[in-house]
Structure 1
Amino acid sequence: MSNQTSLRVADLPQNTPTTFDLRPDARWLDVIKEDLGLLGLRKLSFVGELRAHGKRDWALTGKLGATVIQPCVVTLEPVTTRIDTAVSRMFLAEWSDPDEEEFEIPEGDDSEPLGAEIDPAQVMIEALSLALPQYPRKDGAELEQADYTEPGKQAMTDEDVKPFAGLASLRDAMKKDE
């Protein structure tokens, strides 16, 4: 579906920006929803422009908006979140892939290698994926304390593992003895 939005770099004008306005239809929304594991997706839009940056590089800037529904990490009930975020990407002709196996991309690095085409729809889906709440939680939902132990034994609580939990009561008992 996204190949309909691909822009051939060779066809892009150097002196004026190329604008785009993506508002996926219901079928496309369903595909994106399934790919991202969402319960619901609506009002998805990605509006922006692509412009030349120097002689061979291209800059994409846009505004992503969507309403997503995800399962709560505590209760699994639906959680609705509105996403409105700025998106930018630099497509570099001289981009080099790091040689190190465990190379870590610096935070905020928005550069990508420049290919024959730039696809704003792919950028939209990637940006939406990155903007999703990692741990959506329904208002007021909290994990309850879970106690695990062998049958017939007292379960250890969070208070038991705090190193100074019993010192206050010991101090109070010592003061009474004085």
Structure 2
Amino acid sequence: MQDIQHTTTSYYVAKLSSHKPVAFNLTPDSKKCEIIAQSLGLSGLKKLRFTGALKAHGKSDWTVEAQLGATVVQPCIVTLKPVTTRIDQPVTRQFVRKLPEQQATNDGFEMPEDDNLELLGEVIDIESIMVESLALALPDYPRTEDGALEQQNYAEQGVTPMTDEDTRPFAGLSALKAKLEKPE
């Protein structure tokens, strides 16, 4: 790696050296973190950091290998109380001149197995990769420790409410079996 770490976020592919990796270290300030948090629907975003290198891969392809670190605050899906989550994960993106051929199936096209492949354009935007990686790493259903759903049963007066157990496909079989085995 080079000794110099760049803080720019966009790199023109034509200006990159295929012999020297470009190290980067993005640590957005609080104002930028606030903008990113707002765009991702977060209550807060602290300590966002994206460090790594952009390297040539073969004759014309490029690879971004980085480490994403962030502390995010999201509302609990049950109580809406703030839930703080620490995210630390590696990120890899491979930019290729030509994507592999897609295989047609009866249902359309199959998704390629490698979801880190992207078509190489004129510019590689490290900040976009950081924001996308953060969005993909967010917990889908953040919950506080006391954020358990309690079962609610509603029905008209005089009608027994249906429970989750009643909706299971084989829930009534044991009662039916007992009824059939019991002589009347």
Give the TM-score, by structure 2 length.
Answer: 0.82
Aligned length: 170
What secondary structure, in the 3-state scheme, does the structure 2 residue paired with 1:144 have? Answer: coil
Query: What RMSD over aligned residues (CA atoms) do the two structures have, in Å?
Result: 2.5
State the partner residue of 2:36: 32
User: Which runs of structure 2 are paired with 1:67-106 in the superposition (5 Å)?
Assistant: 67-95=71-99, 102-106=108-112
State the partner residue of 1:45: 49
Give the TM-score, by structure 1 length.
Answer: 0.85
Q: Which runs of 5+ in 1 are unaligned?
A: none
State the partner residue of 1:112: 118
Cα deviation code 1:7-57 (max 9, x no counterpart): 011111111100100000111101100000000100000000001111100
1:86 is displaced (CA, Å) by 0.2
Q: Which runs of 5+ in 2 are unaligned?
A: 1-7
Greater shift in the superposed pair: 21-30 or 97-106: 97-106
Contact 2:102 2:110 in 1 (8 A): no
Contact 1:95 1:114 in 2 (8 A): no
Identify if the C-alpha distance between structure 1 residues 107 and 77 changes in structure 2 by more than 3 Å, giving closer, same or farther.
Answer: farther
Cα distance in 2 between the residues matched to 1:102 and 1:39: 38
Cα distance in 1 between the residues matched to 2:77 and 2:55: 40
Cα distance in 2 between the residues matched to 1:77 and 1:6: 37
1:104 is displaced (CA, Å) by 4.7
What amino acid does structure 1 have at the position aligned with 2:70? Answer: A
Partner of residue 133 from structure 2, selected from 127, 136, 145: 127
Give the fraction of aligned pairs with identical amino acids, expressed as a percent: 47
Cα deviation code 1:35-92 (max 9, x no counterpart): 0000010000000000111110001000000000111111111110000000000000
Which of structures 1 and 2 has the larger relative contact order (alpha carbons within 8 angstroms, sep 6+)?
Answer: 1
Contact 2:37 2:44 in 1 (8 A): yes
Cα distance in 2 between the residues matched to 1:84 and 1:160: 41
Find runs of 4+ consecutive structure 1 residues off by over 6 angstroms: none
State the partner residue of 1:10: 14
What amino acid does structure 1 have at the position aligned with 2:71? Answer: T
Cα distance in 2 between the residues matched to 1:72 and 1:104: 35
